[in-house]
Chain A
Amino acid sequence: MDVAVYKLRTPISEEDVRRLQLGDVIYISGIMVTARDSAHRRAMEILRAGGSLPVDLRGGVLYHCGPVVKKVGEEWRVVAAGPTTSIRMEPFEAEFIKLTGVRVIVGKGGMGADTTRACKEYGAVYTVFTGGCGALAANAIKHVQRVEWLDLGVPEALWVFEVEEFGPLVVTIDAHGNNFHERISAEAERRKTQVYEMLGLK
């Protein structure tokens, strides 16, 4: 795989994400907004009713993350903020991409066919940050701009982070319908027979 490295700043254009290929590495500077399970659920309720979210995500970066934070005086500080398992957001994500205009999704573990189709149709990519690397991620988050929906609890709130060269993020779903996770799964499935044989199974 020929790996290219891109540094992107928000807001990100459709052209910027359309040129990315599977395996490319990107670093993000600017704004990243977190949303995970409950936040997706609430966002969909609002967007489907024709409302708007407290943060404009057009050209933005959505981060599947529930951070550890600490309040120092009036200011929130990020202590650890690695990605959470993205597939839980699969039931919402295609419509989320369509209705928000988000360009880059950051998570871990991969996403499914609906998200892959939406990335292709609306011009977005899905990228992974190494799971569990909460301390590394926190290093790239320079400032908490604000937080919304704190009533959902700290992990579930919408955190608006100002980040500087957040990465490396590996593009694993591009804007052309390719999904790297599906390739790895297919390969593992192909090897299954061989693995079964190693264990004396038919």
Chain B
Amino acid sequence: MSIQVIEETAFNLLKLAATILPPDVKEALRRAYETETSEMGKAQLEAILENVRVAEEKQLPICQDTGVISFYVRIGSDFPIRKGIYEALVRATRRATKEVPLRPNAVDPIQERNTGDNTGRHIPYVHWEIFDGDYMELIAFPKGVGSENMCKLAMLSPAHRLKGLKKFVIDTILEAGGKPCPPVIVGVAFGGGLDIAAELAKRTLLRPLDRPNPVPELAKLEEELLKAINETGIGPMGLGGRWTALRVHVDYACRHPGGYPVAVAIQCWAARRAAARINADGSVEYLTHKVG
């Protein structure tokens, strides 16, 4: 077991994420295509499915915006390697940028200069977690800016509670319109604080689309919001239709009695993610994609 395994796995995940959508996302898009009633909306979904097919077949990036790179890393307390993991992820990012290739999307805002290799201050960004166990879980989550620019966070008044949240979600979706490349996946989180709501909203986007929310109240809220969002008629790519969102995912944290933060994370239809489990003996299992 060496650090090389982590670097190699991270590289593979970046390539898989950029070129092949996870099966749950493909299935949701297919279902949307089959049931879309607007002619223009259906044509957009047809192009999307064809694009997904071509990208997978030719091993090309699905979208030219290969995103800002972030990783979610869960390390078991008994996993043999702790040292040099961040550096390995940076090396994997540089290599993926060159070899997949990915578009260089890291601009230093002080110099206003593109670093050229998708790395730089705090980029790639890594979310760390330690758990009791002997393996490591690695998720590559590259996210494009079209949908990222439409994400919103508000510190709402606790006076309105869930009603305030629902209104904020709908208003955010209406303002976004066709810009975030619908049909989108909407991640909503409330409570905690500024960072906690945003973190949880983003994290809900990692949940497979075919996995129901284990909290019944949240599952109900997800359905209710999805139905309402799709009633707006914004449709695929904002050209009209019944599929504005594929899914809504909701999470929450306990809130301060005097606060009600709500974050809405919008994910474009090209919902790219790839996950793997690295065992203590160095063997790797890919969780989102078939490999080999």
Contact = CB atoms under 8 A, between A and B. Distances in A.
Interface stretch (A46-54, A96-104, A190-198): A190-198
Interface string B234-248: 110111100000000
Interface in B161-190: 163, 166-167, 170, 174, 177-179, 181
B77 interface: no
Contacts of B170: 192, 195-196, 199
Interface in A107-152: 108-110, 128, 130-139, 152
A188 B166 CA distance: 16
Contact of B48 (A80, A130, A153): A130
Contact of A130 (B51, B64, B104, B146): B51
A160 interface: no
Interface string A162-199: 00000010101000000011001101110110111011
B61 interface: yes
Nearest to A23: B40
B62 interface: yes
Interface residues of B, number: 57
A196 B103 contact: no
Interface string B36-52: 00011001100110110
A192 to B, nearest CB: 7
Given A79-B61, A79-B101, A181 B48 contact: no
A14 B50 CA distance: 33
14 contacts: A65-B64, A66-B65, A109-B146, A130-B44, A132-B51, A132-B65, A153-B116, A168-B43, A181-B177, A181-B238, A199-B166, A199-B170, A199-B225, A201-B167
